[in-house]
Structure 1
Amino acid sequence: MREWADFTTEADANGALTVQIGGPLVVSSVGQIDGGLRAIEGPVARLDLGQVSEIDTVGAWVAWRLARDTGAEIVGASAKAARLIAAVRGSKDDTAITPERRPVAERVSGAVGEYVDGMGKGVIGFLGFTGAMLVAGGHLIANPSEFRGKALVRQIELVGISALGIIGLMSFLIGIVIAQQGAEQLRQFGAEIYTINLTGRLSLRELGILMTAIMVAGRSGSAFAAQIGTMKLTEEVDAMRTIGVSPAEALVVPRVLASILIMPLLGFYAALMSIIGGAFISMTTLDIPFMTFLSRIQEVVPIHDLWVGLIKAPVFGAIVALSGCYQGMRVQGNSEEVGLRTTIAVVQAIFAVIVLDAFFAVFFSEVGWG
């Protein structure tokens, strides 16, 4: 028995074309002759399957397609071949392979609707997750012996101490940019000295804590989502529940608490580094002595600017940590989900931080701390 399929074409005295297929007409061998059969042009009188040793559904479809496209009559088919060809002939479907593309208005409105619906479900899920975390925190307050102090210290190290270098460098450079660009504009009015006011107030009130929160979201928020998400995939979270350990208490509470505690310190540190950067560039371009710049900061920056930054810091820290942990807990299915949830955690945290910062700005202006 031949192990491959082949075909021949022959024209009789009247010019009628006959195609004869031989060998096994099955999925493993039909690819060798499919291209040749598709290339046959013109009417075909007969399709002879008498030499086909074996046939399956794929082979029956190839034979039926050739007969349909060329108008050939199928002859010599075995009982099995005839039964399979009849089956594939009855399964003809005129449905388009790709769906018809809807109008732009329908697609845009549908996408917006799906997004709004998903956003609503996400808000509900996030509130539920926050409630579960508060319940876990209340349980730990009632049972302080179950609190994992070492886990908290470890997360403080990862979120805060390990980030001092990058946050300090970023804030120092931002201070240089603020002072340099501010001085360029104020020089037009002969008011370069007010560069100190601009740098001090922006650093302590807004940019110090805001840029720190964005950096922590990209650095630690993503790490929270990836770590917890990987634990979900490897079923470590399920294993913790099985042995009676609450994942919220063991994984979420230490991370959230560490972020809340360390963010005010990081924000204050970032503001100081930004002021130092402004003082450095002012010393080199504006001929303002370094120590004069720093002493002047104490005179022109009101103390409530410092309190504004310190009040916002723990809120931003909680948002960043909760977003990362929530998206990590939602990971399921495969490793691609870890990357997706990590990206969503960072985007959501940064968006929420910026929105809250806007609300804080309006609120503090209304209470006289503008």
Structure 2
Amino acid sequence: MRALTSFQLNPGSDDQGATLVFSGPMTVSSLGLADKDLRKIDGSIGEINVSDVTMMDTVGAWTVWRLSRDTGAKIIGCKDEPQKLIDAISKADSNAHSIRAPRLPLLQRVPEHIGTVMLNLGRGFLQVVGFLGQVILSAGSLFRHPGRFRPKALIHQMELVGVNSLAIIGLMSFLVGIVIAQQGAVQLRQFGAEIYTVNLVGRLTLRELGVLMTAIMVAGRSGSAFAAQIGTMKLTEEVDAMRTIGVSPMEALVVPRILATMIMMPLLGFYSAFLGIVGGAFLSTLTLGIPFFTFLSRVQEVVPLHDVWVGITKAPVFGLIVALAGCYQGMQVKNNAEEVGARTTAAVVMAIFTVIVLDAFFAVFFTNIGWG
């Protein structure tokens, strides 16, 4: 039968406290029952006697040292080998010795953090450029070998990106058109120029807000879906399996999504701008006394044709950015399911930020070429 650890609490004088005497082995296999009773001991302990202990491992040494630390008792009768274990455990006490590295001074910590962020941005930029190069090579390969192109995958992605998002984009655009017309009319009324609400709604929706709001909605809806889908496939090693059987993930997963988004973005942008104008016409009919169809015909007179071309020109570029961000972040998933969520969030943030920056660039560019 396996020997168990036994102990006895011998009362002592009031100024010294009781003596706790251990006997038998003090190992991980023998301390189970004794440890429960040891934790119930109340009162002062002056000494811990381990002279009758026949064997002691790390668990036994830790038990003796813990009792000594908590009660302030002195350990007596300890042999050389158990004493080495107790000394080693006392030096590794996490309460007495901090395991955290000392914090750097503020003047050194801030530049170091900024440098780390800038290095990460540089690496990320190079990775994005490399990913874009892979997309171009894959598109060129499909152009040379059109039999490898998957039209069904393209049509399926066009349905997901375009057709399935018509409702939410239409509702959003209609409401944004109402808001623009209402706020514009309030401000223009101060100058007796409410009729120019038509100009404001028409030019703003066709030139800027129609395609910009659509790009933001597609980034939140489809860009995040791209990152989550490809990231999950990467996590479950489906992407590696495709490479194993000779199928290029870039040709099968990335290129159809990018093409579908670039094709659908101009259509969605024009659809969004049209419903924004309808929303403005609807509000103008109710509050400004401008008939609905008069508002629409007036839009044709006051909005120059190049405003339409500005929106249509920006749309495929925004679609490319949204699809690239989603597919790139999805292909970066490596370790665990938590990274899928992090990469999905990063895809939406990257797409929206880049779209807004490019929109500002386009605004300056078209103004300088006379399409302002």
TM value normalised by structure 2: 0.90
Match of 2:206 in 1: 204
1:239 & 1:99 partners in 2: Cα distance?
Answer: 43
Match of 2:12 in 1: 11
Match of 2:255 in 1: 253
Note the residue ranges of structure 1 that are not aligned, 5 or more in a row. none
Q: Report the more deviating stretch, 81-90 or 204-213.
A: 81-90
1:153 & 1:137 partners in 2: Cα distance?
Answer: 17
Match of 1:47 in 2: 48
Match of 1:349 in 2: 351
Q: Kindly indicate whether the alpha-carbon contact (under 8 Å) linking 1:5 and 1:32 is maintained by their aligned counterparts in 2.
A: no
* CA apart distance, 1:25: 5.4
Q: Report the more deviating stretch, 13-22 or 295-304.
A: 13-22
Q: Kindly indicate whether the alpha-carbon contact (under 8 Å) linking 2:48 and 2:73 is maintained by their aligned counterparts in 1.
A: no
Q: What pairs up with 1:1-370 in 2 under 5 angstroms? A: 8=9, 10-12=11-13, 15=16, 17-21=18-22, 26=28, 32=36, 44=46, 46-49=47-50, 55-67=56-68, 70=72, 72-75=74-77, 77=78, 81-82=82-83, 84-88=85-89, 95-370=97-372
Deviations, residues 108-158 of structure 1 (Å, cap 9, x unaligned): 333322221111111100000000010000000000011000000000000
Deviations, residues 92-112 of structure 1 (Å, cap 9, x unaligned): 786423333444444433332
Q: Kindly indicate whether the alpha-carbon contact (under 8 Å) linking 2:17 and 2:44 is maintained by their aligned counterparts in 1.
A: no
Instruction: Tell me: CA distance 1:53–1:162, structure 2 relative to 1, closer, same or farther (3 Å).
Output: farther
1:202 & 1:99 partners in 2: Cα distance?
Answer: 55
Q: Kindly indicate whether the alpha-carbon contact (under 8 Å) linking 1:34 and 1:62 is maintained by their aligned counterparts in 2.
A: no
2:14 & 2:293 partners in 1: Cα distance?
Answer: 110
* CA apart distance, 1:82: 4.5
Instruction: Tell me: CA distance 1:261–1:4, structure 2 relative to 1, closer, same or farther (3 Å).
Output: farther
How many residue pairs were aligned?
366
2:6 & 2:190 partners in 1: Cα distance?
Answer: 87
* CA apart distance, 1:41: 5.4
Instruction: Tell me: CA distance 1:60–1:189, structure 2 relative to 1, closer, same or farther (3 Å).
Output: same
CA RMSD of aligned residues (A): 2.7
Instruction: Tell me: CA distance 1:88–1:176, structure 2 relative to 1, closer, same or farther (3 Å).
Output: same
What amino acid is the match of 2:144? A
Note the residue ranges of structure 2 that are not aligned, 5 or more in a row. none
Instruction: Tell me: CA distance 1:34–1:260, structure 2 relative to 1, closer, same or farther (3 Å).
Output: farther
TM value normalised by structure 1: 0.90
Q: Kindly indicate whether the alpha-carbon contact (under 8 Å) linking 1:5 and 1:25 is maintained by their aligned counterparts in 2.
A: no
Instruction: Tell me: CA distance 1:5–1:156, structure 2 relative to 1, closer, same or farther (3 Å).
Output: farther
Instruction: Tell me: CA distance 1:18–1:201, structure 2 relative to 1, closer, same or farther (3 Å).
Output: same
* CA apart distance, 1:321: 0.2
Instruction: Tell me: CA distance 1:338–1:6, structure 2 relative to 1, closer, same or farther (3 Å).
Output: farther
